[in-house]
Amino acid sequence: MKKLIGIFFEKALMTVGVLWTGFCVLGLAATIAREEHHDNIPFVIVCLGIGIFMVLSAKKKGKLRNRAEVYAMCLADKPESELAEIAKTMNIPLEQTVRELEELINKDYLNNIYIDRAEGRVKILSEDKGGLRLINGYRFVTCKSCGASNRITGSAEGKRCSYCKAPLTEGSEIKN
C-alpha cells in the first residue's frame, strides 16, 4: 500500500507540476502581451518557479525510488555485504555509495539495514534473511534452478525466473 501511495504521489506531483508550469507559461505570455498587466509579471514568474519545483521534486523522488530498488537487489541475497563490493557493482566511489545508502535509509526508501562504517559492511537487521524490506513493495526470490535473484510483487506462484524461465517457488523468497 505504501508503494502505491508513493508512486501515486510522485505521478500526481509530476502531473500537477507540468500542468501548473504550462498554465504559468501561457499566463506569462498573456501578461507580456497586454501592457496594462505588466505589473503581474513577478507574480507569474514566482508561480512558474513553483511549477518547475514540483516537476523537479517528482523527478528526484522517482530517481530515489529507482536507486533504492538497485541497492535492494545488491543486498537481497546476503545478510551482510561489503561496502566496497557494492560500490564496485554500482560502479561508483565508496563514499558516494555510503552517502546514497544513508539518504535512502533516512528518507525511508530502505528499511532494516545498518551501515557499519568501521567494518565497511552493510548489515540486514534481522535474524533471518527477511530483514531487508524495500518500501515500494518488491520481494526478491532466488531461483532454485540458476540462483538468480528475481524482483517480484505478490506471490511467487505462477511466476518464472527472468533469466532461465524456471518456475519460482515461495520457499526461496526473501520476505519483506
pLDDT in tens, 107-126: 878 877 878 887 888 887 65
Q: Specify the length of the chain in residues.
A: 176
> What is the pLDDT at residue 131?
42
Same domain, 81 and 155: no
- Of 72, 97, 100, residue with least CA distance to 86: 97
The answer to whether 57 touches 21, Cβ cutoff 8 Å, is no
The answer to whether 164 touches 143, Cβ cutoff 8 Å, is yes
Same domain, 37 and 111: yes
Domains in the chain: how many in total?
A: 2
Same domain, 77 and 144: no
Residue 132 pLDDT more than 60?
Answer: no
pLDDT in tens, 1-54: 455 666 777 889 899 999 999 999 998 898 888 878 788 889 989 999 999 999
CATH number of the domain bearing residue 70: 1.10.10.10
Same domain, 77 and 155: no
Model-wide pTM > 0.75: no
pLDDT in tens, 155-171: 777 888 877 888 888 76
Residue 140 pLDDT more than 50?
Answer: yes
Same domain, 99 and 163: no
Strands (E), the chain: 80-82, 110-111, 113-116, 121-124, 133-134, 139-142, 149-152, 173-174
> What is the pLDDT at residue 174?
46
Same domain, 18 and 101: yes
Same domain, 162 and 110: no
Same domain, 28 and 92: yes
Same domain, 110 and 146: no
pLDDT in tens, 63-83: 888 888 888 888 876 778 889
Cell 508513493, residue? 6
List the single range of 21-25, 81-85, 136-140, 172-176 with lowest mean pLDDT. Answer: 172-176
Residue 134 pLDDT more than 50?
Answer: no
Amino acid sitting at position 174: I
Structural domain harbouring 29: 2-131
Same domain, 55 and 123: yes
